[in-house]
Every structure is written in C-alpha cells, then in structure tokens.
Structure 1
Amino acid sequence: MGLILCCWLSDRHHEKKTSPSSFFSQFSVAPPIRLAVLLDTPPVAHGNPRSQWSQTHISPNLKMCPSGVCVSRDRVEQSSDAVRAAAGVATGLHIWEVLWEARHRGSHALLGVSTRECPLQASGYTALIGGNSRSWGWELTTGQLWHDGKELGRYPGGGARERLRAPDRILLVVDADAGTLGYVVDNCFLGIAFASLPSEAELFPAVSCVWGGAKIHLSYLCGMTRDPPPLQTLSALCVCRALRTHLDSIPPAARRLLFNTITSNT
C-alpha cells in the first residue's frame, strides 16, 4: 500500500512540477520512482571527482580549465572533438548536469555516454559520440539520436517532427543497473533515449562538438545504488513534496499535525 501511495504521489507531483511554458512539457513522462526521488535529492558537495572531465581522454583541440569542470574548444576548422568524464559508473542510478550554451553549439553537438573505446577526434564534421558501437549520443541541434554511426530517430516523444532546441542546461540520467540513458530538460523527464547499454563496462558522460569557442561544464549532482531506499523514507519524501505543492490550501492545524506525524515516523 505504501509503495502504491508513493507512486501515486510521485505522478501527482510530476504533473505540477513540469514547466507549462516549456515546449518540452508536451513530451514529459512521469519518471520512475527511484529517479523521482533522486531528482528531489540535494546535489553533492562541490569538488566531487565525477564532476571533472578527463585530462587524458580528451581531443587535443579541447582545453580544460584548472578545476577540470569545463572544457573549451579551440577555433580550428574541419575537426570534430570529444571528451569524456574522468570517472565512469558501472552500477547505480546517476544524474549529471551539463551546461552548454545553445548559441555555441553549431552542428554535430552531441551529449551522451561512452565506454573507454570511443574515438575523441576525427577530421571533418561528424558525430563522434554515437559514431561507433560503444557510444550513445543526443544531437542537441537536430534532436537526432546517434549510435553505431547511425541516426536512430528524433528524441523526445518517439521522434518529434519539428526540431527542438535544447536549452543551455540539460540533465543526463544514467541508470547503469537497467542499462538506460535519458535526459531531463526544463524539469521535464523526456523518457528513455537509449536502452540495452552494456552492463559489463563503465559508462562515462561524454560530449563532442565542432564549434570554435564552445564551453561545456560538467557537474555531478547525485546518485543512488541499486537497492531502493526504505519504503518509509520514500513515503515520507513523497508526502512532503505533495504538501509543499499544496501547502497554502492546508489549514495550519492540519499542516502541523501532518508534519509532526511524518517527522516522528522517519
């Protein structure tokens, strides 16, 4: 009964939380309960190793800032350049934030994941992330999904007819246990973009670009293990979120009683 209540409250909260002003809201789907809980989890402290780009697995045309959280591309022509994160994941559910100004993307701007076997530089303009069988990428300008060097259709919504310009901030959602990759845009979970990712290999957030001067920031937000949180914690968190959404409509006396009950049982 508690799990049913958690899922119901998660769906209700999802209806309120998505931004009606965002064009992506029409493609939003209710996140799985583990992801719904994780999206409400405070981000980890700054300086997490998973927030850094790799200093060794990076195209020579990309330069890294001293902290390792941002890369910028040199103004070179006829080159496609990629970088992957310094740390990958083989288990658990994880969320990264990627900041990449839409006006500094141009063509072949891909965001996704790769294993260790992914090329990081190529002549000409091409999709590096998604360009081989060991990488999966979303092309942020055209909305195309790329894998194994092939276009797999537009994302989100099973293939939107029109091109959707992704905003500057995008959340990358990797479920290494389930082998899936998805994205959150404007507080909207757009569903699973890729499934059947390999379970035997580490998966690394990765980007590839061709735009001179592009700057791309990476930040690890949070993650959880395969084991679900205690049901009591899930229920309390979902009830608290529902209360925050409808707080003004709850009488003060009932509000205090509800919060006292939740607090005493967690």
Structure 2
Amino acid sequence: MVPLPNCSLTGMRLEGMERNKYTCVSICTTWDPDKSSHNVRISDGVPSKLHRERAVHRTDLAMSDTGFSKGLHILDVEWPTKMRGSHAVIGVALAEAPKHANSYTNLLGSTESSWGWDIKNNKLIHNGQTMGNYPKDKADGVFNAPNKISCIIDMITGTIGFKTNEEYLGDAFSGLKHKTVFLAVSTVWGGAEISVAYNKGCNNTPLSLQDLSKLTLRDRVKFVQQLDHLPTSPGLKRLIADKSITDLDSIDENTHL
C-alpha cells in the first residue's frame, strides 16, 4: 500500500463532479456512537458534531454512520487547528477498527483496518507504518491543514484523498476497492469538537478514460459549427460526435449536445 501521485482518475472525476458532469446524491452523514470510542460524546441534538471528553494518556476514534462501498463522495470535516494536539488523524476505517488506545498515538492507521493522514506531521499511516509524506509536493516544506478538510472517498478506484482550500492534494491511499469504509478521525485533545457534513457525491458507474476525454473535447467544441472543420482524423470526429456514454448509467442532460 503506497501513496499515489497527484495526477489521477479520482482528481479527474472530482473535477467532473464539481462541473456537474455527474448526477449527484445527498446523504445525511453524522457521527455514529456505536462505532466510536465511549470517550467520544455525540449529542442527539447535533449528531454531526462530536465532543471528545478529557482523558489522560488516551486516544479515541470516531466513525461516521454512513459506510461507502461504491461511487465517489466528498465529506467535509471541520476540525479547529487549536483542538488537534500532538496526534490528530483523519481518514477512513473499516467497522472493526479499534476505537481507543491507552496512550497518545496515531490510532487511525495503526492497523490493517484503517488508513489515516496525520495532519500534525503530514504523514500517511496504515497498518502502523508511515507510508510517506502528504501532500507529496509539500514534503520538504511546511503544510498547515486548515480548519476545514474535505475527504474524497473514491470507491470506483478504491482510493481516498483530501482537498483543502478548493485544491485537491492528490490520492493518498489505494487498495480500498470491494471494502466498505467509514470516514474516521482519531484525537487526543481533551474537549476537541469535530464536525462532519456530506458535501456531495455520486453512485454512478464510472466514466472510462476514453469517455472522460470525449466529454472534455465536447466541452470545447461547438458541435454544428466546428466539428466538421476540426483538423483531426475522421475517427476522432466520430468519437466526439457519439452521444452515447456507455460507461455511465446517468449523466447530466446538458452534456448531450
């Protein structure tokens, strides 16, 4: 399991989603007390916000109530920088991942059942091992993750990554395909308050690389006026003109020019 380079199909799909190329879904996501440490308090009134109780020499983990096994999903986490402490990790976990530890540690990412980004030291962690720096292009410098971090869960390719300040930081982990993962955080900060919100997502079958290229070309070509005059081969013209998107169950009608 190794971190992936920034250029990826996940990044392309993320851009496509933000440009309304996909039919988006809306999911109400909250923290799940049954899949979280007993030292994490989740209010019935505001289940999207957790409060980590004060405890010495303990690390506690919390998971979302929603699991993801297909599609592409963006979840926003609000985690104030002043409430992070020495070990603050965000990522995904399987339902059986350990929920607490009797020490200060990077609990998320400590076993085979969880994958985490240590936002204090900018390291990727899985199975108790450091998998590299993240973001990769900030490896030799200082990167301060802001209060809001978006976790990009791409179960089409089985990868996860993160976005801050509207910038996708690249794929972080791979190998998650055919699993059901939950958004997760682990923290040591007494009194920490962390919120989660489902931003947007889609459960459609993915676009192939050919179809992604086709849609990009069609975005830049005015069909009737320009297609016949393109300085390219007849085969490529036919590809662009083909309105069928065979790899996608549903796509915004505006893309069918």
Partner deviation per Cα, 1:14-33 (whole Å, 9 max, x = no partner): xxxxxxxxxxxxx9768633
Identity fraction in percent: 31
For residue 153 of structure 2, what is the aligned residue in structure 1?
Answer: 174
What TM-score results when the alignment is normalised by the length of structure 2?
0.74
> Structure 1 regions of 5+ residues with no counterpart?
1-26, 240-261
Picking from 14, 28, 36, the partner of 1:58 is: 36
Equivalences for residues 88-107 of structure 1 within 5 A: 88-107=67-86
In the alignment, structure 1 residue 73 sits paired with structure 2 residue 55: no
| Partner residue in 2 for 1:87 | 66
1:184 aligns with 2:184: no
Letter in 1 for 2:47: G
CA-based RMSD of the aligned residues comes to 2.9
Structure 2 counterpart of 1:130, one-letter code: G
Residues 162 and 235 of structure 1: is their aligned pair in 2 closer, same or farther, counting only changes over 3 Å?
closer
Sort the Cα spacing of 1:54 and 1:234 in 2 relative to 1 into closer, same or farther, 3 A.
farther
Distance 2:18 2:108 in 1: 25
Report how many residues are paired. Answer: 214
Deviation at 1:159, TM superposition (A): 6.4
Q: 1:223 aligns with which of 198, 201, 226?
A: 201
Code of the residue aligned with 2:148 in structure 1: it is R
Given that residues 57 and 84 in structure 1 are in contact (C-alpha distance below 8 angstroms), is that contact kept between their aligned partners in structure 2?
Answer: yes
112, 127, 151: which is aligned to 1:133?
Answer: 112
Query: Amino acid of the residue matched to residue 48 of structure 2?
Result: V
Give the distance between the partners of 1:264 and 1:176, measured in 2 at CA: 24
Structure with greater helix share of residues: 1
Distance in 2, Cα, partners of 1:28 & 1:180: 12
Q: Deviations over 1:15-62 (max 9, x none)?
A: xxxxxxxxxxxx9768633210223459866xx33x211120111111
Q: For the residues of structure 2 that align with 1:74 and 1:237, how far apart are their CA atoms? A: 53
Name the SS for the 2:16 alignment partner.
Answer: helix
Q: Counterpart in 2 of 1:112?
A: 91
| 1:122 pairs with one of 96, 101, 121 | 101
**Cα deviations across residues 148-191 of structure 1 (Å, max 9, x unaligned)?**
01111210126602331100011101111211111111111111
Q: CA deviation at 1:74?
A: 0.9
In structure 2, give the amino acid aligned to 1:84: M
Question: What is the rounded CA distance, in whole Å, between the counterparts of 2:18 and 2:196 in structure 1?
Answer: 17
Aligned-residue offset at 1:210: 0.3
Unaligned runs of 5+ in 2: 221-252
